Structure 1
Amino acid sequence: MNILLTVFEIVAPVFLLAGIGFTWVKLGFEYRLEFVTRLAVTLAVPSLIFVALMQTEIPAGELTRFTLAAIAGHIGLAVAFGVFVRLSNLDRRTYLSPLIFGNTGNLGLPLCIFAFGQAGLGFAVIFLAITALFSFTYGIYLVAGKGAFGKVAREPMVWATLLGALFLWQDWETPLFLTNTLELLGQMAIPMMLITVGVAIARLTTRKLGQAIWLSVLKLLVCFALGWATARFFDLDATAFGVLVLQMCTPVAVTSYLLAERFDADSDAVAGMVMVSTVLSVGALPIILAIVL
Protein backbone atom coordinates (compact mmCIF):
# COMPACT_ATOMS: atom_id res chain seq x y z
CA MET A 1 0.00 0.00 0.00
CA ASN A 2 2.88 2.38 0.79
CA ILE A 3 4.41 1.92 -2.67
CA LEU A 4 1.05 2.64 -4.32
CA LEU A 5 0.68 5.85 -2.31
CA THR A 6 4.24 6.88 -3.18
CA VAL A 7 3.65 6.28 -6.89
CA PHE A 8 0.38 8.23 -6.77
CA GLU A 9 2.06 11.17 -5.07
CA ILE A 10 4.73 11.19 -7.80
CA VAL A 11 2.55 10.88 -10.91
CA ALA A 12 -0.54 12.81 -9.80
CA PRO A 13 1.03 16.31 -10.08
CA VAL A 14 2.40 15.45 -13.53
CA PHE A 15 -0.92 14.44 -15.03
CA LEU A 16 -2.95 17.02 -13.10
CA LEU A 17 -0.86 19.83 -14.58
CA ALA A 18 -1.22 18.34 -18.06
CA GLY A 19 -4.95 18.10 -17.37
CA ILE A 20 -5.03 21.81 -16.53
CA GLY A 21 -3.57 22.62 -19.95
CA PHE A 22 -6.04 20.28 -21.67
CA THR A 23 -9.01 21.80 -19.81
CA TRP A 24 -7.78 25.35 -20.41
CA VAL A 25 -7.95 24.89 -24.17
CA LYS A 26 -11.26 23.01 -24.10
CA LEU A 27 -12.78 25.92 -22.16
CA GLY A 28 -11.79 28.20 -25.03
CA PHE A 29 -9.11 30.21 -23.24
CA GLU A 30 -6.13 31.53 -25.22
CA TYR A 31 -2.80 29.74 -24.97
CA ARG A 32 -0.01 30.85 -27.29
CA LEU A 33 1.74 27.53 -27.75
CA GLU A 34 4.60 28.82 -29.89
CA PHE A 35 5.47 31.61 -27.44
CA VAL A 36 5.34 29.41 -24.35
CA THR A 37 7.33 26.65 -26.03
CA ARG A 38 10.01 29.09 -27.14
CA LEU A 39 10.20 30.59 -23.64
CA ALA A 40 10.59 27.12 -22.17
CA VAL A 41 13.27 25.78 -24.53
CA THR A 42 15.20 29.05 -24.73
CA LEU A 43 15.25 30.14 -21.06
CA ALA A 44 13.50 27.92 -18.55
CA VAL A 45 14.71 24.43 -19.50
CA PRO A 46 18.34 25.47 -20.21
CA SER A 47 18.47 27.21 -16.81
CA LEU A 48 17.08 24.09 -15.14
CA ILE A 49 19.62 21.88 -16.92
CA PHE A 50 22.62 24.11 -16.18
CA VAL A 51 21.88 24.51 -12.46
CA ALA A 52 21.03 20.81 -12.07
CA LEU A 53 24.36 19.77 -13.55
CA MET A 54 26.38 22.44 -11.75
CA GLN A 55 24.95 21.50 -8.37
CA THR A 56 24.80 17.73 -8.81
CA GLU A 57 26.76 15.61 -6.40
CA ILE A 58 26.71 12.53 -8.60
CA PRO A 59 30.22 11.08 -9.03
CA ALA A 60 31.73 11.69 -12.47
CA GLY A 61 32.14 7.96 -13.08
CA GLU A 62 28.43 7.32 -12.61
CA LEU A 63 27.49 10.19 -14.91
CA THR A 64 29.85 8.85 -17.58
CA ARG A 65 28.40 5.34 -17.31
CA PHE A 66 24.87 6.70 -17.49
CA THR A 67 25.73 8.82 -20.54
CA LEU A 68 27.08 5.77 -22.35
CA ALA A 69 23.97 3.81 -21.36
CA ALA A 70 21.69 6.57 -22.69
CA ILE A 71 23.56 6.68 -26.01
CA ALA A 72 23.39 2.89 -26.27
CA GLY A 73 19.67 3.00 -25.50
CA HIS A 74 18.98 5.46 -28.32
CA ILE A 75 21.07 3.44 -30.79
CA GLY A 76 19.30 0.27 -29.71
CA LEU A 77 15.88 1.85 -30.32
CA ALA A 78 16.98 3.14 -33.72
CA VAL A 79 18.15 -0.32 -34.77
CA ALA A 80 15.17 -2.23 -33.35
CA PHE A 81 12.51 0.06 -34.77
CA GLY A 82 14.42 0.53 -38.02
CA VAL A 83 14.21 -3.22 -38.63
CA PHE A 84 10.55 -3.27 -37.56
CA VAL A 85 9.55 -0.43 -39.89
CA ARG A 86 11.34 -2.06 -42.81
CA LEU A 87 9.75 -5.49 -42.20
CA SER A 88 6.30 -3.96 -41.65
CA ASN A 89 6.46 -1.85 -44.83
CA LEU A 90 5.59 1.26 -42.82
CA ASP A 91 6.62 4.66 -44.13
CA ARG A 92 10.06 5.30 -42.60
CA ARG A 93 9.69 9.09 -42.76
CA THR A 94 6.45 8.99 -40.82
CA TYR A 95 6.87 6.28 -38.20
CA LEU A 96 10.53 5.75 -37.30
CA SER A 97 11.20 9.05 -35.54
CA PRO A 98 8.14 8.92 -33.20
CA LEU A 99 8.91 5.29 -32.37
CA ILE A 100 12.47 6.17 -31.33
CA PHE A 101 12.11 9.50 -29.53
CA GLY A 102 10.04 10.00 -26.38
CA ASN A 103 8.84 13.03 -24.49
CA THR A 104 11.91 13.08 -22.24
CA GLY A 105 11.57 16.79 -21.51
CA ASN A 106 7.94 17.68 -20.85
CA LEU A 107 7.08 14.41 -19.07
CA GLY A 108 10.42 12.73 -18.36
CA LEU A 109 12.04 15.53 -16.37
CA PRO A 110 9.08 16.12 -14.01
CA LEU A 111 8.64 12.41 -13.33
CA CYS A 112 12.33 11.94 -12.56
CA ILE A 113 12.39 14.98 -10.27
CA PHE A 114 9.36 13.84 -8.27
CA ALA A 115 10.52 10.21 -8.17
CA PHE A 116 14.27 10.56 -7.56
CA GLY A 117 14.90 14.15 -6.44
CA GLN A 118 17.94 16.22 -7.36
CA ALA A 119 20.09 13.18 -8.17
CA GLY A 120 17.42 11.92 -10.56
CA LEU A 121 17.25 15.34 -12.22
CA GLY A 122 20.98 15.22 -12.93
CA PHE A 123 20.63 11.91 -14.76
CA ALA A 124 17.39 12.98 -16.46
CA VAL A 125 18.90 16.10 -18.01
CA ILE A 126 21.76 14.04 -19.44
CA PHE A 127 19.21 11.75 -21.09
CA LEU A 128 17.24 14.76 -22.36
CA ALA A 129 20.38 16.31 -23.85
CA ILE A 130 21.23 13.09 -25.69
CA THR A 131 17.67 12.85 -26.98
CA ALA A 132 17.93 16.43 -28.23
CA LEU A 133 21.24 15.74 -30.00
CA PHE A 134 19.83 12.64 -31.72
CA SER A 135 16.46 14.19 -32.60
CA PHE A 136 17.93 17.42 -34.03
CA THR A 137 20.27 15.42 -36.27
CA TYR A 138 19.20 11.85 -37.02
CA GLY A 139 15.54 12.57 -36.17
CA ILE A 140 15.27 15.44 -38.63
CA TYR A 141 17.19 13.43 -41.22
CA LEU A 142 14.61 10.63 -40.95
CA VAL A 143 11.69 12.98 -41.61
CA ALA A 144 13.23 15.55 -43.96
CA GLY A 145 15.87 13.47 -45.72
CA LYS A 146 18.60 15.85 -44.58
CA GLY A 147 20.44 16.58 -41.35
CA ALA A 148 20.27 19.69 -39.19
CA PHE A 149 23.66 19.77 -37.52
CA GLY A 150 23.70 23.56 -37.56
CA LYS A 151 20.50 23.58 -35.50
CA VAL A 152 22.20 21.60 -32.73
CA ALA A 153 24.84 24.31 -32.35
CA ARG A 154 22.08 26.91 -31.89
CA GLU A 155 20.10 25.00 -29.28
CA PRO A 156 20.27 26.59 -25.78
CA MET A 157 19.62 23.18 -24.19
CA VAL A 158 22.76 21.78 -25.78
CA TRP A 159 24.92 24.69 -24.62
CA ALA A 160 23.37 24.54 -21.13
CA THR A 161 24.33 20.87 -20.95
CA LEU A 162 27.89 21.47 -22.13
CA LEU A 163 28.39 24.42 -19.76
CA GLY A 164 26.80 22.55 -16.88
CA ALA A 165 29.09 19.58 -17.51
CA LEU A 166 32.13 21.91 -17.64
CA PHE A 167 31.18 23.57 -14.34
CA LEU A 168 30.60 20.14 -12.79
CA TRP A 169 33.94 18.84 -14.05
CA GLN A 170 35.88 21.90 -12.85
CA ASP A 171 33.85 22.22 -9.63
CA TRP A 172 32.96 25.81 -10.52
CA GLU A 173 29.92 27.74 -9.33
CA THR A 174 28.26 30.87 -10.61
CA PRO A 175 27.89 33.88 -8.26
CA LEU A 176 24.99 33.45 -5.85
CA PHE A 177 22.86 36.19 -7.43
CA LEU A 178 23.19 34.51 -10.84
CA THR A 179 22.51 31.06 -9.43
CA ASN A 180 19.34 32.33 -7.73
CA THR A 181 18.21 33.94 -10.99
CA LEU A 182 18.82 30.76 -12.98
CA GLU A 183 17.02 28.69 -10.34
CA LEU A 184 13.97 30.96 -10.58
CA LEU A 185 13.98 30.63 -14.36
CA GLY A 186 14.37 26.88 -14.06
CA GLN A 187 11.44 26.60 -11.65
CA MET A 188 9.16 27.79 -14.47
CA ALA A 189 10.15 24.89 -16.67
CA ILE A 190 8.31 21.97 -15.05
CA PRO A 191 4.79 23.43 -14.74
CA MET A 192 5.15 25.23 -18.08
CA MET A 193 6.14 22.05 -19.94
CA LEU A 194 3.42 19.94 -18.35
CA ILE A 195 0.63 22.44 -19.04
CA THR A 196 1.91 22.75 -22.61
CA VAL A 197 1.64 18.98 -23.09
CA GLY A 198 -2.03 19.16 -22.14
CA VAL A 199 -2.59 22.09 -24.50
CA ALA A 200 -0.90 20.31 -27.40
CA ILE A 201 -2.88 17.09 -26.85
CA ALA A 202 -6.15 19.07 -26.70
CA ARG A 203 -5.44 20.61 -30.10
CA LEU A 204 -4.46 17.40 -31.91
CA THR A 205 -6.93 15.45 -34.03
CA THR A 206 -6.50 12.14 -35.86
CA ARG A 207 -8.42 9.57 -37.89
CA LYS A 208 -5.90 6.76 -37.35
CA LEU A 209 -6.51 5.73 -33.75
CA GLY A 210 -6.57 1.97 -34.41
CA GLN A 211 -3.08 1.88 -35.84
CA ALA A 212 -1.85 4.32 -33.21
CA ILE A 213 -3.00 2.02 -30.40
CA TRP A 214 -1.00 -1.05 -31.41
CA LEU A 215 2.05 0.98 -32.39
CA SER A 216 1.99 2.82 -29.04
CA VAL A 217 1.72 -0.45 -27.11
CA LEU A 218 4.58 -1.91 -29.15
CA LYS A 219 6.73 1.18 -28.53
CA LEU A 220 6.13 0.96 -24.78
CA LEU A 221 6.98 -2.76 -24.58
CA VAL A 222 10.14 -2.47 -26.67
CA CYS A 223 11.32 0.65 -24.83
CA PHE A 224 10.78 -0.95 -21.42
CA ALA A 225 12.57 -4.17 -22.37
CA LEU A 226 15.48 -2.36 -24.01
CA GLY A 227 15.72 0.21 -21.21
CA TRP A 228 15.81 -2.52 -18.58
CA ALA A 229 18.39 -4.57 -20.48
CA THR A 230 20.60 -1.51 -21.11
CA ALA A 231 20.49 -0.43 -17.46
CA ARG A 232 21.42 -3.93 -16.35
CA PHE A 233 24.23 -4.20 -18.92
CA PHE A 234 25.85 -0.96 -17.71
CA ASP A 235 25.27 -1.95 -14.07
CA LEU A 236 23.61 1.36 -13.16
CA ASP A 237 22.79 2.11 -9.54
CA ALA A 238 19.17 2.30 -8.38
CA THR A 239 18.54 5.97 -9.21
CA ALA A 240 20.26 5.90 -12.60
CA PHE A 241 18.54 2.60 -13.39
CA GLY A 242 15.10 4.05 -12.66
CA VAL A 243 15.73 7.26 -14.61
CA LEU A 244 16.99 5.40 -17.69
CA VAL A 245 13.98 3.05 -17.78
CA LEU A 246 11.49 5.89 -17.18
CA GLN A 247 13.01 8.14 -19.82
CA MET A 248 13.10 5.32 -22.35
CA CYS A 249 9.40 4.66 -21.76
CA THR A 250 8.09 8.22 -22.16
CA PRO A 251 5.36 8.66 -24.80
CA VAL A 252 5.82 10.11 -28.29
CA ALA A 253 6.90 13.75 -28.18
CA VAL A 254 4.72 16.48 -29.67
CA THR A 255 7.78 17.64 -31.63
CA SER A 256 7.49 14.46 -33.73
CA TYR A 257 4.09 15.68 -34.91
CA LEU A 258 5.43 19.16 -35.65
CA LEU A 259 8.28 17.72 -37.73
CA ALA A 260 5.91 15.44 -39.65
CA GLU A 261 3.67 18.38 -40.43
CA ARG A 262 6.56 20.63 -41.44
CA PHE A 263 8.19 18.11 -43.81
CA ASP A 264 4.99 16.63 -45.30
CA ALA A 265 5.08 13.21 -43.65
CA ASP A 266 1.79 11.66 -42.46
CA SER A 267 1.17 14.08 -39.58
CA ASP A 268 -2.28 12.59 -38.91
CA ALA A 269 -0.72 9.21 -38.11
CA VAL A 270 1.89 10.81 -35.85
CA ALA A 271 -0.78 12.87 -34.07
CA GLY A 272 -2.58 9.62 -33.27
CA MET A 273 0.59 8.14 -31.79
CA VAL A 274 1.20 11.25 -29.68
CA MET A 275 -2.35 11.16 -28.32
CA VAL A 276 -2.60 7.41 -27.69
CA SER A 277 0.89 6.97 -26.23
CA THR A 278 0.34 9.92 -23.87
CA VAL A 279 -2.99 8.51 -22.66
CA LEU A 280 -1.38 5.05 -22.37
CA SER A 281 1.39 6.54 -20.23
CA VAL A 282 -1.17 7.64 -17.62
CA GLY A 283 -1.62 3.97 -16.72
CA ALA A 284 1.74 2.55 -17.77
CA LEU A 285 4.23 4.98 -16.20
CA PRO A 286 2.89 4.51 -12.63
CA ILE A 287 3.31 0.73 -13.07
CA ILE A 288 6.83 1.16 -14.41
CA LEU A 289 7.63 3.57 -11.59
CA ALA A 290 6.39 1.05 -9.02
CA ILE A 291 8.70 -1.57 -10.58
CA VAL A 292 11.84 0.54 -10.59
CA LEU A 293 11.42 2.26 -7.21
Structure 2
Amino acid sequence: MNLILTVLEIVAPVGLLGLAGFVWVRAGFEYRMEFITRLCMTLSVPALVFTSLMQTEIDPAALSALSLAAALAYGALTLAFWGMTRALGMDRRTYLSPLIFGNTGNVGLPLALFAFGEIGLGYAIVVFAVMILWSFTFGLWVVAGGGSPARLLKEPIMGATLLGALFLWNGWQTPLWLTHSLELLGQIAIPLMLLTLGVAVARLNARHLGRALWLSLLRAAVCLGAALGAGLLIGLPPVALAVLILQVTTPVAVTSYMMAEKYGADADAVAGLVIASTLLSVITLPLTLAFLI
Protein backbone atom coordinates (compact mmCIF):
# COMPACT_ATOMS: atom_id res chain seq x y z
CA MET A 1 0.00 0.00 0.00
CA ASN A 2 2.83 2.41 0.85
CA LEU A 3 4.47 1.70 -2.51
CA ILE A 4 1.22 2.41 -4.36
CA LEU A 5 0.75 5.70 -2.51
CA THR A 6 4.34 6.72 -3.21
CA VAL A 7 3.95 6.06 -6.95
CA LEU A 8 0.65 7.94 -7.03
CA GLU A 9 2.26 10.91 -5.28
CA ILE A 10 4.93 10.98 -8.00
CA VAL A 11 2.67 10.44 -11.01
CA ALA A 12 -0.37 12.48 -9.90
CA PRO A 13 1.14 16.00 -10.38
CA VAL A 14 2.28 15.07 -13.89
CA GLY A 15 -1.09 13.60 -14.85
CA LEU A 16 -3.16 16.37 -13.29
CA LEU A 17 -1.25 19.21 -14.96
CA GLY A 18 -1.36 17.41 -18.32
CA LEU A 19 -5.10 16.84 -17.80
CA ALA A 20 -5.55 20.52 -16.96
CA GLY A 21 -4.03 21.51 -20.30
CA PHE A 22 -6.19 18.95 -22.11
CA VAL A 23 -9.42 20.17 -20.46
CA TRP A 24 -8.46 23.83 -20.99
CA VAL A 25 -8.34 23.39 -24.76
CA ARG A 26 -11.36 21.11 -24.92
CA ALA A 27 -13.32 23.78 -23.04
CA GLY A 28 -12.56 26.20 -25.86
CA PHE A 29 -10.07 28.46 -24.09
CA GLU A 30 -7.14 29.96 -25.97
CA TYR A 31 -3.65 28.50 -25.55
CA ARG A 32 -0.91 29.96 -27.72
CA MET A 33 1.23 26.90 -28.24
CA GLU A 34 3.91 28.61 -30.33
CA PHE A 35 4.44 31.37 -27.75
CA ILE A 36 4.55 29.01 -24.75
CA THR A 37 6.87 26.57 -26.53
CA ARG A 38 9.24 29.35 -27.53
CA LEU A 39 9.17 30.78 -24.00
CA CYS A 40 10.04 27.40 -22.51
CA MET A 41 12.72 26.39 -25.01
CA THR A 42 14.36 29.82 -25.19
CA LEU A 43 14.21 31.04 -21.59
CA SER A 44 12.80 28.85 -18.83
CA VAL A 45 14.18 25.40 -19.75
CA PRO A 46 17.73 26.72 -20.42
CA ALA A 47 17.59 28.52 -17.05
CA LEU A 48 16.43 25.31 -15.37
CA VAL A 49 19.15 23.26 -17.07
CA PHE A 50 21.93 25.72 -16.22
CA THR A 51 21.03 26.23 -12.56
CA SER A 52 20.39 22.52 -11.97
CA LEU A 53 23.76 21.54 -13.38
CA MET A 54 25.59 24.37 -11.64
CA GLN A 55 24.12 23.54 -8.24
CA THR A 56 24.04 19.76 -8.48
CA GLU A 57 26.11 17.82 -5.99
CA ILE A 58 26.58 14.90 -8.38
CA ASP A 59 30.19 13.89 -8.91
CA PRO A 60 31.38 14.96 -12.40
CA ALA A 61 32.67 11.44 -13.02
CA ALA A 62 29.18 10.06 -12.38
CA LEU A 63 27.73 12.56 -14.85
CA SER A 64 30.29 11.46 -17.44
CA ALA A 65 29.32 7.83 -16.90
CA LEU A 66 25.64 8.67 -17.26
CA SER A 67 26.31 10.65 -20.45
CA LEU A 68 28.12 7.64 -21.91
CA ALA A 69 25.34 5.27 -20.86
CA ALA A 70 22.69 7.57 -22.38
CA ALA A 71 24.67 7.77 -25.63
CA LEU A 72 24.93 3.97 -25.73
CA ALA A 73 21.22 3.57 -25.02
CA TYR A 74 20.18 5.95 -27.79
CA GLY A 75 22.71 4.39 -30.14
CA ALA A 76 21.21 0.96 -29.45
CA LEU A 77 17.69 2.32 -30.04
CA THR A 78 18.78 3.86 -33.32
CA LEU A 79 20.21 0.58 -34.59
CA ALA A 80 17.25 -1.45 -33.36
CA PHE A 81 14.55 0.78 -34.84
CA TRP A 82 16.49 1.37 -38.05
CA GLY A 83 16.53 -2.38 -38.57
CA MET A 84 12.89 -2.76 -37.58
CA THR A 85 11.60 -0.06 -39.94
CA ARG A 86 13.61 -1.57 -42.77
CA ALA A 87 12.43 -5.12 -42.05
CA LEU A 88 8.76 -4.04 -41.87
CA GLY A 89 8.95 -1.72 -44.87
CA MET A 90 7.93 1.32 -42.80
CA ASP A 91 8.62 4.87 -43.93
CA ARG A 92 11.81 5.78 -42.07
CA ARG A 93 11.21 9.55 -42.30
CA THR A 94 7.90 9.09 -40.49
CA TYR A 95 8.60 6.41 -37.88
CA LEU A 96 12.29 6.32 -36.96
CA SER A 97 12.60 9.52 -34.92
CA PRO A 98 9.36 9.04 -32.93
CA LEU A 99 10.41 5.51 -32.02
CA ILE A 100 13.83 6.67 -30.77
CA PHE A 101 13.08 9.92 -28.95
CA GLY A 102 10.87 10.02 -25.87
CA ASN A 103 9.31 12.95 -24.08
CA THR A 104 12.29 13.43 -21.76
CA GLY A 105 11.45 17.11 -21.22
CA ASN A 106 7.72 17.38 -20.59
CA VAL A 107 7.40 14.03 -18.81
CA GLY A 108 10.86 12.82 -17.83
CA LEU A 109 12.15 15.90 -16.00
CA PRO A 110 9.17 16.33 -13.63
CA LEU A 111 8.93 12.60 -12.95
CA ALA A 112 12.65 12.41 -12.10
CA LEU A 113 12.29 15.44 -9.83
CA PHE A 114 9.24 14.10 -7.99
CA ALA A 115 10.67 10.57 -7.72
CA PHE A 116 14.30 11.24 -6.81
CA GLY A 117 14.52 14.91 -5.83
CA GLU A 118 17.10 17.42 -7.02
CA ILE A 119 19.76 14.78 -7.64
CA GLY A 120 17.30 12.93 -9.87
CA LEU A 121 16.58 16.13 -11.79
CA GLY A 122 20.31 16.65 -12.31
CA TYR A 123 20.68 13.17 -13.76
CA ALA A 124 17.55 13.59 -15.88
CA ILE A 125 18.89 16.81 -17.41
CA VAL A 126 22.03 14.97 -18.54
CA VAL A 127 19.94 12.36 -20.37
CA PHE A 128 17.72 15.13 -21.75
CA ALA A 129 20.80 16.92 -23.13
CA VAL A 130 22.08 13.76 -24.83
CA MET A 131 18.65 13.20 -26.39
CA ILE A 132 18.48 16.81 -27.61
CA LEU A 133 21.91 16.50 -29.18
CA TRP A 134 21.01 13.33 -31.08
CA SER A 135 17.52 14.60 -31.95
CA PHE A 136 18.68 17.87 -33.51
CA THR A 137 21.43 16.18 -35.53
CA PHE A 138 20.53 12.65 -36.58
CA GLY A 139 16.80 12.99 -35.88
CA LEU A 140 16.51 16.16 -37.91
CA TRP A 141 18.55 14.62 -40.72
CA VAL A 142 16.17 11.64 -40.90
CA VAL A 143 12.94 13.66 -40.92
CA ALA A 144 14.09 16.53 -43.11
CA GLY A 145 16.49 14.66 -45.35
CA GLY A 146 19.38 16.82 -44.17
CA GLY A 147 20.50 18.84 -41.20
CA SER A 148 23.43 20.96 -40.12
CA PRO A 149 25.28 20.60 -36.79
CA ALA A 150 25.36 24.41 -36.70
CA ARG A 151 21.61 24.32 -35.97
CA LEU A 152 22.32 22.62 -32.67
CA LEU A 153 24.71 25.36 -31.56
CA LYS A 154 21.93 27.92 -32.00
CA GLU A 155 19.68 26.13 -29.50
CA PRO A 156 19.70 27.89 -26.09
CA ILE A 157 19.28 24.52 -24.36
CA MET A 158 22.63 23.28 -25.62
CA GLY A 159 24.36 26.52 -24.68
CA ALA A 160 22.89 26.27 -21.18
CA THR A 161 23.95 22.62 -20.93
CA LEU A 162 27.55 23.29 -21.96
CA LEU A 163 27.80 26.32 -19.70
CA GLY A 164 26.23 24.48 -16.78
CA ALA A 165 28.63 21.56 -17.26
CA LEU A 166 31.55 24.00 -17.28
CA PHE A 167 30.41 25.61 -14.03
CA LEU A 168 29.83 22.18 -12.47
CA TRP A 169 33.23 20.87 -13.49
CA ASN A 170 35.07 23.92 -12.13
CA GLY A 171 32.90 24.43 -9.04
CA TRP A 172 31.89 27.93 -10.12
CA GLN A 173 28.74 29.75 -8.99
CA THR A 174 26.97 32.79 -10.41
CA PRO A 175 26.34 35.77 -8.08
CA LEU A 176 23.47 35.08 -5.70
CA TRP A 177 21.17 37.69 -7.25
CA LEU A 178 21.64 36.12 -10.69
CA THR A 179 21.21 32.59 -9.37
CA HIS A 180 17.89 33.49 -7.73
CA SER A 181 16.68 35.19 -10.91
CA LEU A 182 17.56 32.16 -13.04
CA GLU A 183 15.98 29.79 -10.51
CA LEU A 184 12.75 31.79 -10.58
CA LEU A 185 12.73 31.70 -14.37
CA GLY A 186 13.46 27.97 -14.41
CA GLN A 187 10.65 27.17 -11.98
CA ILE A 188 8.00 27.94 -14.58
CA ALA A 189 9.42 25.40 -17.03
CA ILE A 190 8.02 22.15 -15.64
CA PRO A 191 4.38 23.25 -15.07
CA LEU A 192 4.28 24.97 -18.47
CA MET A 193 5.69 21.89 -20.22
CA LEU A 194 3.11 19.64 -18.58
CA LEU A 195 0.23 21.95 -19.48
CA THR A 196 1.57 22.13 -23.05
CA LEU A 197 1.72 18.33 -23.25
CA GLY A 198 -1.99 18.13 -22.40
CA VAL A 199 -2.81 20.85 -24.92
CA ALA A 200 -0.80 19.11 -27.65
CA VAL A 201 -2.51 15.76 -27.08
CA ALA A 202 -5.93 17.46 -27.13
CA ARG A 203 -5.17 19.03 -30.52
CA LEU A 204 -3.70 15.98 -32.24
CA ASN A 205 -5.71 14.29 -34.95
CA ALA A 206 -4.68 10.65 -35.00
CA ARG A 207 -5.62 7.86 -37.37
CA HIS A 208 -4.74 4.15 -37.40
CA LEU A 209 -4.40 3.95 -33.63
CA GLY A 210 -4.32 0.15 -33.82
CA ARG A 211 -0.91 0.12 -35.49
CA ALA A 212 0.29 2.90 -33.22
CA LEU A 213 -0.67 0.86 -30.14
CA TRP A 214 1.31 -2.26 -31.00
CA LEU A 215 4.27 -0.13 -32.09
CA SER A 216 4.11 1.69 -28.76
CA LEU A 217 4.10 -1.62 -26.87
CA LEU A 218 7.09 -2.84 -28.87
CA ARG A 219 8.86 0.48 -28.39
CA ALA A 220 8.36 0.36 -24.60
CA ALA A 221 9.99 -3.08 -24.41
CA VAL A 222 12.94 -2.14 -26.65
CA CYS A 223 13.55 1.13 -24.78
CA LEU A 224 13.53 -0.65 -21.42
CA GLY A 225 16.03 -3.22 -22.67
CA ALA A 226 18.34 -0.60 -24.18
CA ALA A 227 18.38 1.60 -21.07
CA LEU A 228 18.83 -1.30 -18.65
CA GLY A 229 21.56 -2.88 -20.78
CA ALA A 230 23.50 0.38 -21.22
CA GLY A 231 23.23 1.29 -17.54
CA LEU A 232 24.42 -2.13 -16.34
CA LEU A 233 27.23 -2.19 -18.89
CA ILE A 234 28.58 1.16 -17.66
CA GLY A 235 27.95 0.23 -14.03
CA LEU A 236 25.73 3.18 -13.10
CA PRO A 237 24.77 3.68 -9.44
CA PRO A 238 21.13 2.86 -8.58
CA VAL A 239 19.63 6.37 -8.83
CA ALA A 240 21.43 7.19 -12.08
CA LEU A 241 20.32 3.85 -13.56
CA ALA A 242 16.74 4.46 -12.46
CA VAL A 243 16.68 7.93 -14.03
CA LEU A 244 18.20 6.62 -17.28
CA ILE A 245 15.49 3.94 -17.51
CA LEU A 246 12.78 6.45 -16.66
CA GLN A 247 13.96 8.95 -19.28
CA VAL A 248 14.54 6.50 -22.13
CA THR A 249 11.14 4.83 -21.62
CA THR A 250 9.08 8.05 -21.67
CA PRO A 251 6.33 8.20 -24.34
CA VAL A 252 6.90 9.58 -27.83
CA ALA A 253 7.78 13.27 -27.80
CA VAL A 254 5.24 15.80 -29.09
CA THR A 255 8.13 17.51 -30.89
CA SER A 256 8.31 14.46 -33.18
CA TYR A 257 4.82 15.34 -34.41
CA MET A 258 5.83 18.97 -34.90
CA MET A 259 8.90 17.95 -36.92
CA ALA A 260 6.84 15.55 -39.06
CA GLU A 261 4.31 18.32 -39.76
CA LYS A 262 7.04 20.80 -40.63
CA TYR A 263 9.08 18.57 -42.94
CA GLY A 264 6.32 16.70 -44.75
CA ALA A 265 6.40 13.26 -43.12
CA ASP A 266 3.16 11.45 -42.22
CA ALA A 267 2.13 13.68 -39.30
CA ASP A 268 -1.09 11.73 -38.63
CA ALA A 269 0.87 8.51 -38.12
CA VAL A 270 3.22 10.26 -35.71
CA ALA A 271 0.25 11.78 -33.88
CA GLY A 272 -1.11 8.27 -33.42
CA LEU A 273 2.18 7.21 -31.84
CA VAL A 274 2.16 10.22 -29.52
CA ILE A 275 -1.39 9.51 -28.33
CA ALA A 276 -1.00 5.72 -28.07
CA SER A 277 2.34 5.86 -26.23
CA THR A 278 1.11 8.62 -23.90
CA LEU A 279 -2.03 6.64 -23.00
CA LEU A 280 0.06 3.50 -22.58
CA SER A 281 2.43 5.39 -20.27
CA VAL A 282 -0.45 5.83 -17.81
CA ILE A 283 0.12 2.12 -17.10
CA THR A 284 3.81 1.63 -17.89
CA LEU A 285 5.27 4.63 -16.07
CA PRO A 286 3.70 3.84 -12.66
CA LEU A 287 4.82 0.21 -13.07
CA THR A 288 8.33 1.35 -13.98
CA LEU A 289 8.46 3.73 -11.02
CA ALA A 290 7.19 1.02 -8.67
CA PHE A 291 10.04 -1.22 -9.83
CA LEU A 292 12.68 1.55 -9.67
CA ILE A 293 11.85 2.90 -6.23
Q: TM-score, normalised by structure 2?
A: 0.99
Aligned ranges 1:131-280 → 2 under 5 Å: 131-280=131-280
Aligned length: 293
- Secondary structure of the corresponding residue to residue 182 of structure 2: helix
Equivalent position of 2:50 in the other structure: 50
Rounded to whole Å, the distance in 1 between the matches of 2:273 and 2:188 is 28
Match of 1:281 in 2: 281
Distance 1:208 1:142 in 2: 23
Show CA shifts across 1:69-95 (max 9, x none).
Answer: 001011010001111111011011100
Within 1, Cα distance between the matches of 2:6 and 2:206?
35
In structure 2, what is the equivalent of residue 71 of structure 1? 71
Query: Where do 5+ consecutive residues of structure 2 fail to align?
Result: none
Look up the match of 1:32: 32
Query: Shift in Å at residue 233 of structure 1?
Result: 1.1
Distance in 1, Cα, partners of 2:101 & 2:92: 14
Give the 3-state SS of the residue equivalent to 2:187 in structure 1. Answer: helix
Structure 1 stretches of 4+ moved >4 Å? none
**127-136 or 143-152: which moved more?**
143-152
Partner Cα distance (2:118, 2:247) in 1: 16
Q: Find out whether 1:127 has 2:127 as its counterpart.
A: yes
* Cα distance between partner residues in 1 of 2:148 and 2:103: 20
The answer to whether the aligner puts 1:102 opposite 2:102 as a matched pair is yes
- Structure 1, residues 198-238: CA drift from partner, whole Å, max 9, x if none? 00000001121111101111111110111111111111111
Letter in 1 for 2:211: Q
Alpha-carbon distance in 2 for matches of 1:156, 1:201 = 25
Aligned residue for 1:117?
Answer: 117
Query: Once the 2 structures are TM-superposed, how far is the Cα of residue 148 of structure 1 from its aligned partner?
Result: 3.0
Matched, 1:10 2:10: yes
Question: How large is the RMSD of aligned CA atoms in angstroms?
Answer: 0.7
Q: Which amino acid in structure 1 is aligned with residue 27 of structure 2? A: L
Letter matched to residue 278 of structure 1: T
**In 1, Cα distance between equivalents of 2:118 and 2:261:** 36
User: What SS does the corresponding residue of 1:58 show, helix, strand or coil?
Assistant: coil
Aligned AA for 1:254?
A: V
- Report % sequence identity: 56
Q: Distance in 2 between matches of 1:28 and 1:197?
A: 16
1:48-76 deviation digits (Å, cap 9, x = unpaired)? 00000000111111111001000101101
Distance 1:135 1:20 in 2: 28
Gaps of 5+ in 1: none
Amino acid at match of 2:190: I
CA–CA distance in 2 between the matches of 1:174 and 1:234? Answer: 33
Query: Quick one: distance in 2 between partners of 1:126 and 1:43?
Result: 18
- 1:2 shift after superposition: 1.1
